[in-house]
């Protein structure tokens, strides 16, 4: 890899990967190298990585992070990805001074377009969450892109979706059918997108409990509401869309075509709906989220070191 790219600063860290800024020596273009230490990978992790590479290699859409090439060395596996220098979605939103429902819709629309494309290609993401949503650059009209396909799976065929039964996803965003250990399909991504939309509108998640068992109970029963004053500023159309997406029964959950046709997607005057109370909540939520992610990465690093001794 070093023969072809000059390595720069660290852009982010995940459970198994460090992502670095790199410059192509041949054409001076900027990329992000996801560097995965191979000695930390179990057999299952290696399989997930192979799936991620296979899937990302097949995808080509403005709202999906592009994979340029991969390098496999003795110790490290490198994925050369489109550099999303605009950073994570919530990090960027919380920097705003004024935030409107229209801006929430623009972000949500891009997530839905990415999912529409992935599902058409027979791919379910299965781990849609704020950490996996990155902006292309720092400009005002940057594109939001879906990244990290480590948990994505291919459908075998479009007509009869091969139902996937592996437990996966991140607790607060995971669909009830996964928690109930039922067969599931692409509608799990619709559920996660609805959870993200809910947070985009009020600044906190629909399902929350420090105790995972209690959190799972809430999700499985679909128990959420629109509490507090943040929701007073939000349009009824937005609440209606969430109510039709956060439906426990996957077959009754809105599909992508219906989401795109929903009145909220075309509603005028959303620019005038200022969500500054929600923005304050989002700042708190984002700070907690970043803190927890930092603790998690540190814990994993510590466990790996203990394991190596």
**Residue 82 or 177 with smaller CB distance to ligand ATP:** 82
Q: Name which position in 19, 168, 196, 259 contacts ligand ATP (CB under 6 A).
A: 19
Decide if residue 14 touches ligand ATP (CB under 6 A): yes
State in angstroms the smallest separation of the CB of 9 from ligand ATP.
11
Alpha-carbon distance of 162 to 188, in angstroms, equals 13
**Residue 17 or 174 with smaller CB distance to ligand ATP:** 17
Site string for ligand ATP, 260-279 (x = CB under 6 A): --------------------
Alpha-carbon distance of 131 to 287, in angstroms, equals 13
State in angstroms the smallest separation of the CB of 176 from ligand ATP.
21
Site string for ligand ATP, 101-140 (x = CB under 6 A): ------------------------------x--x------
State in angstroms the smallest separation of the CB of 192 from ligand ATP.
13
Alpha-carbon distance of 162 to 165, in angstroms, equals 10
Catalytic residue annotation:
127
Decide if residue 84 touches ligand ATP (CB under 6 A): yes
Between the CA of residue 99 and those of 69, 109, 204, 244, what are the distances in Å?
Answer: 37, 16, 15, 24
Is there a contact between 215 and 208 (Cβ–Cβ < 8 Å)? Answer: yes
Strands of the sheet with 76-82, listed across from one edge: 5-13, 17-24, 30-37, 76-82, 67-72
Kindly report the number of other CB atoms within 10 A of residue 155's CB atom: 18
Beta pairing, strands 5-13 & 17-24: antiparallel
State in angstroms the smallest separation of the CB of 152 from ligand ATP.
11
Alpha-carbon distance of 104 to 232, in angstroms, equals 16
State in angstroms the smallest separation of the CB of 131 from ligand ATP.
4
As to burial, measured by CB atoms within 10 angstroms (0-12 exposed, 13-18 middle, 19+ buried), residue 189 is: buried
Q: Name which position in 108, 116, 150, 197 contacts ligand ATP (CB under 6 A).
A: 150
Please identify, among the stretches 82-90, 99-107, 109-117, 283-291, the one whose residues bind ligand ATP according to the rule CB under 6 A.
82-90
Q: Taking the alpha carbons of 196, 245, 54, 59 in that order, is the dihedral positive or negative? A: negative
Decide if residue 49 touches ligand ATP (CB under 6 A): no
Binding site for ligand ATP (CB under 6 A): 11-17, 19, 32, 34, 65, 81-84, 88, 131, 134, 147-148, 150
């Amino acid at each position: 890899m070093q023969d072809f790219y000059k390595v720069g600063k660290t852009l982010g860290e995940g459970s198994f990967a460090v992502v670095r800024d790199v410059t192509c020596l041949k054409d001076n273009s900027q990329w992000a190298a996801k560097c995965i230490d191979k000695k930390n990978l179990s057999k299952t992790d290696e399989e997930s990585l192979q799936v991620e590479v296979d899937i990302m290699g097949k995808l080509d859409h403005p709202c999906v992070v592009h994979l340029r090439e991969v390098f496999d060395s003795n110790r490290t596996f490198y994925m050369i990805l489109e550099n999303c220098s605009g950073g994570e979605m919530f990090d960027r939103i919380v920097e705003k001074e004024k935030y409107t429902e229209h801006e929430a819709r623009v972000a949500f629309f891009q997530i839905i377009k990415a999912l529409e494309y992935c599902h058409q290609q027979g791919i379910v993401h299965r781990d849609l969450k704020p950490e996996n949503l990155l902006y292309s650059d720092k400009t005002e009209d940057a594109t939001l892109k879906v990244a990290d396909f480590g948990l994505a799976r291919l459908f075998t065929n479009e007509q009869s979706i091969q139902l996937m039964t592996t437990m996966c996803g991140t607790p607060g965003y995971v669909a009830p059918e996964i928690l109930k250990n039922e067969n599931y399909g692409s509608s799990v991504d619709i559920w996660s997108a609805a959870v993200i939309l809910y947070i985009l509108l009020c600044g906190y998640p629909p399902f929350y409990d420090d105790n995972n068992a209690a959190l799972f109970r809430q999700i499985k029963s679909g128990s959420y509401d629109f509490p507090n004053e943040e929701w007073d500023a939000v349009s009824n159309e937005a609440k209606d869309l969430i109510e039709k997406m956060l439906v426990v029964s996957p077959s009754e959950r809105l599909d992508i075509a219906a989401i795109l046709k929903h009145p909220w997607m075309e509603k005028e005057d959303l620019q005038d709906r200022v969500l500054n109370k929600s923005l304050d909540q989002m700042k708190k939520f984002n700070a907690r989220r970043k803190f927890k992610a930092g603790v998690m990465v540190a814990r994993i690093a510590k466990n790996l070191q203990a394991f190596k001794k």
